[in-house]
Structure 1
């Protein structure tokens, strides 16, 4: 699932991505307000984003909700199966699922909240999911497109950045997350997806070896 030319780079990026997740988690553990880093950015209130931008933000937010996320994952899995790529279908489910599970566990460990004690905010699960799905899609497209190391890396990281920025903007614009929650969610996906790809490849290779 990880193109060989990109494995070393993505593995290194995944390791580096863990650092901000941990650092920000310690910085904002148990907090219920924006921090110094958050105040570098504009902090919209619930009614400060007018139409049509609020509608766009809500539509983007829906793609990270359980129903919207399920539709995206099912569509991605169906596309993989139609192309007779069952391992890719497994990768889609495993990568997005493990990313969401990791983000959810981190929410309970860190305990940062927004708009009340019941709304755990760090890291942003919406951003983590959407970034993970974009990463998976880009990785699966790299091989068929015949991209080399540099072009493949640019596609993968570009897709992750676009997805993270789009969903991150929507979350901050709607007042659902702090900017540092977005960064934490993005880095969570960047850390989890390459590792998941390596595991899926390892299991597939191991299974093929055992069948010989």
Structure 2
């Protein structure tokens, strides 16, 4: 176990997300202590919040629908974009995807995804770096809760639409964020997910999975 994995294991506990009890992840219950610990460990006050330490509603719904067979990924090349701790990627691997990649720009999120995948006995290729703009090499691209800021939405949506135009199935799991585009999305399923007040202003979120149209 490398230093990042040891840090994650020391500051989280193994738990099962409410909608996906088949998968066990290294999760935190409070955001402030692990954020402060991350700043101390990395000797930096400018790090992103440790979103990887929580099973976000969007990733839970994606994982649930994958494991139930509503989203079919068997034999496919799958990308979990903005993967957090890798929940949707792990579900895709368990559902028989041929290749699963997890994309994140946070090195601790990548370390968490690798640790979680190993704990669940599946193979997920996880590397840091911005894949936005990369040519299509996936059959299915999943993005959970990515339209929370206008710059982020503007950065990723042209790329996601291009991937869809090139034949990929592109899915966005959205819990009602303000910057979700109004056009070019087809809803395919909605589920209610329990949430934590550590991250949200309510006790549940209604998450809709949209398919991106070219």
Compute the TM-score of the two structures, normalised by the length of structure 2: 0.28
User: Which has a greater percent of strand?
Assistant: 2
Q: Which has the higher contact order (CA 8 A, sep 6+)?
A: 1
Of Structure 1 and Structure 2, which has the larger fraction of its residues in helix? 1
Larger Rg: 1
